[in-house]
């Protein structure tokens, strides 16, 4: 156990702080997609905005499938739900939670629109972000 502590500071804590600093120094405009994330680009590029990178597993850890796919009518087949900002701001789809009370509001565009333009998902279909990265 003494090998994990140097000069009174845990080496694990030092590693965590170093990793957090490196992540913080990454340019804000780069997508930080993880395995299982979904790039939603049905209407984004046509509206001259970056595609949405949806962290599916982040949401899945906290909620059951029913919360979004049944209660909010988000269809399982990619591109079939016709999600857009007007509907979200009206409290539909993502807007049911992203209203500023449960999660951040729609005024924070850069928290969701983090994808890169030119994504293969631009043709009206969604694609896992890890596959999008591999093809760039």
pLDDT above 60 (res 71) = yes
What class is the 30-135 domain? alpha beta
User: What residue ranges do the domains of the chain occupy?
Assistant: 30-135
**DSSP three-state, residue 5:** strand
pLDDT above 90 covers a percentage of the chain that reads 24
d(CA 67, CA 75): 12
Q: What are the phi and psi torsion angles at 39 (to 5°)?
A: -90, 120
Q: What is the mean pLDDT of residues 71-97?
A: 89
48-56, long-range: CB < 8 A, 24+ apart: 49/109, 49/113, 50/113, 50/114, 50/115, 50/116, 50/117, 51/113, 51/115, 51/116, 51/117, 51/119, 51/121, 51/122, 52/112, 52/113, 52/114, 52/115, 53/112, 53/114, 53/115, 53/129, 54/112
pLDDT tens for residues 113-129?
A: 988 776 554 444 444 44
Highest-scoring range by mean pLDDT, 19-28, 94-103, 109-118, 127-136? 94-103
- pTM (predicted TM-score): 0.59
d(CA 48, CA 40): 14
């Amino acid at each position: 156990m003494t090998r994990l502590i140097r000069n009174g500071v845990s080496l694990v804590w030092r590693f965590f702080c170093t990793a957090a600093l490196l992540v913080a120094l990454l340019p804000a405009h780069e997508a930080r997609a993880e395995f299982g994330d979904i790039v939603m680009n049905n209407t984004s590029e046509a509206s001259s905005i970056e595609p949405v990178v949806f962290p599916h597993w982040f949401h899945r850890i906290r909620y059951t499938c029913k919360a979004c796919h049944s209660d909010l009518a988000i269809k399982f087949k990619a591109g079939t739900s016709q999600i857009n900002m007007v509907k979200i701001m009206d409290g539909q789809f993502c807007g049911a939670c992203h209203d500023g009370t449960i999660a951040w509001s729609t005024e924070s565009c850069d928290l969701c629109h983090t994808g890169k333009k030119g994504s293969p998902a631009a043709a009206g279909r969604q694609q896992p972000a890890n596959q999008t990265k591999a093809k760039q």
